[in-house]
Amino acid sequence: MEKEIGKVDDYYSKIGVITLELKGVLSVGDKIRVKGHSTDFIQVVDSIQIEHKPVSSAKAGDMIGIKVNERAKKGDMVLKVTDDEKEMSKM
């Protein structure tokens, strides 16, 4: 199951980081999918930063940076991926 948790606000190609404002809770270790017109990949979140400081999780309304393994574009959807319906109800 997937639930949208934000849209890519910017992509920094030199460092491989996307920024977005969260619509839900996201933690290091969660699985995300970045999907757009020419983008579609799934990865585990290895690091989250708020104002250049590492955090283990972030909540709705936080502006965060996430290191990504592939290119992304402004406006791409960021979805939280889970197999557990109980986990989906918390988002």
> 88 pLDDT band (50/70/90 cuts)?
very low
CA–CA gap between residue 51 and residue 24 (Å, rounded): 18
- Give mean pLDDT, residues 31-39: 97
pLDDT tens-digit readout, 62-74: 999 999 999 999 9
Rounded CA gap, 1 and 11, in Å?
Answer: 25
Domain locations in the chain as residue ranges: 2-78
Predicted model pTM? 0.88
Among 3.40.50.1100, 2.40.30.10, 3.40.640.10, 3.40.50.980, what is the CATH number of 2-78? Answer: 2.40.30.10
